[in-house]
Structure 1
């Protein structure tokens, strides 16, 4: 009887253990395969030889094993061009081998890829990429991966476009930017013919951000007085995602804010009066005489020149011509009772303006050209005093 009881007890324990195993097996089956994980390698180096590239590999893993991969390569179409093309290749994973083929987005250039992936925490990619008829050997050692969040942060491109800036301290009143879908980009550029603007040449070339986002940013310069109306019109154009102001070429440390008051006439800047005052102040500080002044109808900039005896070789009786560019605008969009004038850095040129025959001079023959104009900051201070204006405090990001 005792033996029978022990046997029954063992049988029950065995049955209980078997039930536990079945339960765990069912639980594991319900849990399914291991979760997928996406990682990126975005510092792969020069995959196409001398062609500048911006590239990454996206891997999907399960249980630490690579199950799929994508190679994304944006590259210059030649070593001397800023225009970009791009190809994305879904790579077949066969152990350490990664391979695939396709064509580029822009030029439809055929591409084949054959790589060997080795390593754990530090991964190397070796093999070859054929782009068109050109074969490139690939050797990319010691690559570390990043997660989705870190990768996306590295891809953010700030175009500084502001559709409704509160003022013109971070963006320029003459610098306009338009973000437009790529398929509408060419037509948008053509629509600016006759608008009397200056287009930033480097913004018409297709870049990597445009190829990946499907949107391109066009930048141009326009008279601040015409910028609001043009921006409003561009916002209604086909394919435009955003239009507004962006950062410019003038330094806020060279800006002066002053009351519009006596300098305005019928709600607009009295250009003649302002030009006369500004050139007189600059001439006095620089020890020169006013020479010429012109307003650029496209950009709204004032360019004026001053002349004074050159100090390079006084015995030769040479003339130094200083050229200064200034931009004037209300201090914020929509009009204001205050104006800002930005003063450009003066440029200098020495010539012989005596009676003929005259000496001729070449440009600088090398090295850094020594500046011959004096007290540039003194000019800004003098203009601020004459206009009863304020200068920008860079440290505190406010007007002094």
Structure 2
């Protein structure tokens, strides 16, 4: 294949956007002079002109004074154009003056890799030129104005949060149906296959193994499960091969649309009487939305509540159009373990309009009725009405407490 010569200016913007490293790791920080004759480690976290600007680069240099004595190039990149799947190679480079060369193979596809770079200091920055070949694809590197980082600066920018809370004190910062596991990459396939046929929903986006996961050797897999089964499932998952962490994480609930209320009236033994609660919620929403209840159901997999209502559309009454309103919800205990309170989250109403009259139908499109970005549909005080009906409390985000 012919060599690829990439425009450095365009690729710099693309690389910054694609890189998982924080913006501070991309800043042009002036190199700090080492003590005369001293050894120090410096890092580059962006080099233009690699893989259409989608490469995630770490070049680690060990220097004796101003002389590079060793270098390691770690590049993570898409296996194909527009692919979310990543591959990676790590090459120990031979240093001969300003020339860096090396060969290796990629860790996933086992493609042969050849590197030949010329490194040139240019004041407070560095220029890299040369070629990197992966399989039959040759990338021309022409990258001026690259700034390096000290080891401390680099490490400060490598902290990452997997979002997993093994033992949350309550469900104000994590969602009761949302769980996640961190698992070794070589165990992920068997782990995921073991979930087939089970009442658990895996988040598709979490199946993509990103550059951070490739470097850490672990990925985080997010799932949704009925809150009443979440604790038992987590206990089972923690014991599976390759799992290094498991717990609750962020999910569908939003605290500004969540109510906490006494559990006593809504339990049958140790189980939540979901049908009774769903009927009570439906009756309240029927009044606030001025709509007739049509159906209520719970997902056996995630425990998510779905309420459906209908009402006459008032935009053009003579046409006898019908609004169908769907409202999602989730009910659970307000924290893991035993508790005397429940939590109810109610989503914003979603409305579609159609001609359900007898005879010939008018085809109606809702495309022009999309709310402005950030606007929420008016639920006519539904959360307040539910709070009153359930004798509940709302979350005060400013004070971080129920009120």
TM-score, normalization: structure 2?
A: 0.86
Match of 2:75 among 73, 76, 82: 73
> Are the counterparts in 1 of residues 259 and 343 from structure 2 also a CA contact under 8 Å?
yes
> Are the counterparts in 2 of residues 286 and 375 from structure 1 also a CA contact under 8 Å?
no
RMSD: 2.0
**Aligned residue in 2 for 1:198:** 201
- Please say if 1:218 is aligned against 2:221: yes
> Are the counterparts in 2 of residues 165 and 333 from structure 1 also a CA contact under 8 Å?
yes
3-state SS of 2:52 partner? coil
1:23-62 pair list within 5 angstroms: 34-50=37-53, 52-62=54-64
> Are the counterparts in 1 of residues 349 and 377 from structure 2 also a CA contact under 8 Å?
no
1:118-133 pair list within 5 angstroms: 118-119=120-121, 120-133=123-136
Displaced runs of 4+ in structure 1, greater than 4 A? Answer: 367-374
Post-superposition CA distance 1:170-218 (Å, at most 9, x none): 1111111111111111111111122211100111122112211111111
1:309-328 pair list within 5 angstroms: 309-328=312-331
Q: How far is the alpha carbon of 1:325 from its aligned partner?
A: 0.6
> Are the counterparts in 2 of residues 167 and 332 from structure 1 also a CA contact under 8 Å?
yes
Match of 1:143 among 146, 151, 164: 146
- What is the alpha-carbon distance in structure 1 between the residues aligned to residue 334 and residue 80 of structure 2? 43
- What is the alpha-carbon distance in structure 1 between the residues aligned to residue 154 and residue 209 of structure 2? 22
Post-superposition CA distance 1:87-106 (Å, at most 9, x none): 11112112221111211111
3-state SS of 1:226 partner? helix
**Aligned residue in 2 for 1:97:** 99
- Please say if 1:297 is aligned against 2:300: yes
- 134-143 or 370-379, which deviates more: 370-379
> Are the counterparts in 2 of residues 286 and 373 from structure 1 also a CA contact under 8 Å?
no
**Aligned residue in 2 for 1:9:** none
Tell me the number of residue pairs that the alignment of Structure 1 and Structure 2 aligns. 366
Post-superposition CA distance 1:241-269 (Å, at most 9, x none): 11111111321111111111101111211
- What is the alpha-carbon distance in structure 2 between the residues aligned to residue 345 and residue 257 of structure 1? 18
> Are the counterparts in 1 of residues 167 and 247 from structure 2 also a CA contact under 8 Å?
yes
- Consecutive unaligned residues of structure 2, counting only runs of 5 or more, are 1-35
> Are the counterparts in 1 of residues 49 and 139 from structure 2 also a CA contact under 8 Å?
no
1:106-121 pair list within 5 angstroms: 106-119=108-121, 120-121=123-124
Q: How far is the alpha carbon of 1:67 from its aligned partner?
A: 0.9
Change beyond 3 A, Cα 1:338–1:114: same
3-state SS of 1:217 partner? strand
Q: How far is the alpha carbon of 1:141 from its aligned partner?
A: 2.2
Post-superposition CA distance 1:77-116 (Å, at most 9, x none): 1232211111111121122211112111111112112212
Change beyond 3 A, Cα 1:361–1:220: same
- 294-303 or 121-130, which deviates more: 121-130
**Aligned residue in 1 for 2:260:** 257
- What is the alpha-carbon distance in structure 1 between the residues aligned to residue 370 and residue 140 of structure 2? 41
- Report which of the two structures shows the higher radius of gyration computed on alpha carbons: 1
**Aligned residue in 1 for 2:274:** 271
Change beyond 3 A, Cα 1:368–1:94: farther
- What is the alpha-carbon distance in structure 2 between the residues aligned to residue 138 and residue 345 of structure 1? 50
- Consecutive unaligned residues of structure 1, counting only runs of 5 or more, are 1-32
1:246-395 pair list within 5 angstroms: 246-362=249-365, 364=367, 368-369=370-371, 375-376=378-379, 378-395=381-398
TM-score, normalization: structure 1?
A: 0.87
Post-superposition CA distance 1:312-333 (Å, at most 9, x none): 3222110011111101111111
- Please say if 1:84 is aligned against 2:86: yes
**Aligned residue in 2 for 1:12:** none
